[in-house]
Amino acid sequence: MDFKRPDDPYRPVTHLSTIYAIYESDRRFRNLMLGVIDPNAISIRTKIAQHLAGDCDPLACPDPAYFVDSTYHANQLATIDTEITRSREPLADHYRQYYGGTFPIWVTVAMMSFGSVSKM
């Protein structure tokens, strides 16, 4: 619903209570959908990590030999590196401190956005 007109700040029938009710409805719907989507996202992350760790190598993610398109792989790695660098997960700190920042695939996938995982 559009509460603003180009020539006027707000339509006369606009009330804060209406905007708040729409916001709350959207928030409840989003939380409901996340409850359905989240278990599937975790399952997909797990399957990708299991495949790469078991069938390839736990450190396969940085190796372009395991991927079809090396250019796309390089671009995706840059995105993943940004996500890992930005991560404040205790898991990331542990691997930085004790393993010199070498992340096995199951750790990498846990820190990636679902968008990056889906592209992998």
What pLDDT score was predicted for residue 20? 92
What's the average model confidence in pLDDT over 39-65? 86
Q: Residue 42: how many CA atoms within 13 Å on its side-chain side?
A: 6
Q: Are 11 and 3 in contact (CB under 8 A)?
A: yes
User: What are the structure tokens assigned to 15, written together?
Assistant: 């009330």
Mean pLDDT of the chain: 85
pLDDT value of residue 1: 56
Task: Quote the CA–CA distance of 112 and 81 in Å, as a whole number.
Answer: 9
Read off the pLDDT band of 52 (50, 70, 90): confident
Which helix (H) or strand (E) segment is 100 a member of?
none
Rg (CA), the chain: 21
Mean pLDDT, rounded, for 96-109: 87
Backbone angles phi, psi at 8, to 5 degrees: -145, 140
